[in-house]
Amino acid sequence: MINHLQAATTLNNGVKMPWFGLGVYKAQDGEEVVAAVKAAVRLGYRSIDTAAIYRNEDGVGRAVRELVEEGAVKREELFITTKVWNADQGYDTTLEACDASLRRLGLDYVDLYLIHWPVKGKYIETWPAMEKLYKDGKARSVGVSNFHIHHLEDLRLFEVVPAVNQVEYHPWLGQKELLTYCRDRGIRLEAWSPLAQGRILDNPELGRIAAKHGKTAAQVVLRWDLQNGVVTIPKSVTERRLAENANVFDFALDDADMTAIDALNTGTRVGPDPDNFDF
């Protein structure tokens, strides 16, 4: 039972990663992202998910620095994720991209560094750079994002097994086969757009389950992630929703609820299919 906001899963390299975190995609650099990260950490969040392409690493770094300076949290209590963007993939360029992210964040290391998308013909060159960043201590763990099973199979020839695969995951896109594969290989699945960018929240079945537990549809979906063993990073920049989303540790979905939510799976994506993207 995952029963508090700072509960963590142990990744395949022994590093602890909070089950729950804040995603900051589309949070504007500057005041917006700084305020969101600070509010989240003060509410007890310990994990922040950004990316070079979100163009808000500066703001995330500023918030972290100010929180540490004021004694709200220690750096080592935080879990910071960022990602190498597609245009930077390749061996040397990935090493440079990581340094640039660390500079913008104002950090010596990140807790998790991810290959953002499986760019054809590139991620095979990129992964050895991720291994080097891991061995050099610039990333405490390394992983991938948007990898299908066949992409993960391509990485089998390397030494380091990805610690995490961050993929689109919500009740419309249950990804059972990928979840089982990752679980069997010790790769932790992490959900992006866990709320389907808010679009799934007026689903009547989720409403019914939410009413049964005295919770909101968002809380039910996030609890379903956790009970499936999936790390989740919902995005919000409003304090009320940050608090609402994190308030999922005092109830449990029963088997009937879990089955009913699983049954919402239609394979519908809110983002691109990793086998068919052009950026």
Contact code string over 241-270 relative to ligand NAD, x by CB under 6 A: x--xx-------------------------
233 near ligand NAD, rule: CB under 6 A: yes
AA identity, residue 103: R
118 near ligand NAD, rule: CB under 6 A: no
126 near ligand NAD, rule: CB under 6 A: no
194 near ligand NAD, rule: CB under 6 A: yes
3-state secondary structure of 270: coil
86 near ligand NAD, rule: CB under 6 A: no
43, 124, 201, 260: which one binds ligand NAD (CB under 6 A): 201
Contact code string over 160-189 relative to ligand NAD, x by CB under 6 A: ------x-----------------------
* C-alpha dihedral, 254 to 232 to 242 to 32, nearest 10°: -170
277 near ligand NAD, rule: CB under 6 A: no
Which residue in 137, 210, 190, 277 sits closest to 11, CA to CA? 190
234 near ligand NAD, rule: CB under 6 A: yes
217: number of CA atoms within 13 Å, CB side? 18
18 CB contacts (<8 Å, ≥6 apart)? Answer: 5, 6, 7, 8, 9, 45, 46, 47, 79, 231
Number of residues this chain uses to bind ligand NAD (CB under 6 A)? 25
209, 218, 220, 253: which one binds ligand NAD (CB under 6 A): 218
Least distance from ligand NAD to the Cβ atom of residue 274, Å: 9
Least distance from ligand NAD to the Cβ atom of residue 196, Å: 6
Kindly tell me the sign of the dihedral angle through the C-alpha atoms of 34, 37, 40, 44. Answer: negative
Specify the stretch interacting with ligand NAD by CB under 6 A; choose among 39-47, 125-133, 193-201, 248-256.
193-201
* Cβ proximity to ligand NAD, 44 vs 69, nearer residue: 44
Which residue in 135, 152, 132 sits closest to 144, CA to CA? 152
Q: Which residues are catalytic?
A: 54
Report residue 142 as tokens.
């390394």
Report residue 62 as tokens.
């500023």
Q: What does the alpha-carbon distance between residue 253 and residue 41 come to, in Å, rounded to a whole number?
A: 26
23 near ligand NAD, rule: CB under 6 A: yes
DSSP string, 206-253: HHHHHHHHT--HHHHHHHHHHHTT-EE--B--SHHHHHHHH--SS---
Residues that bind ligand NAD (CB under 6 A): 23-25, 49, 116, 145-146, 166, 192-198, 201, 218, 233-236, 241, 244-245, 271
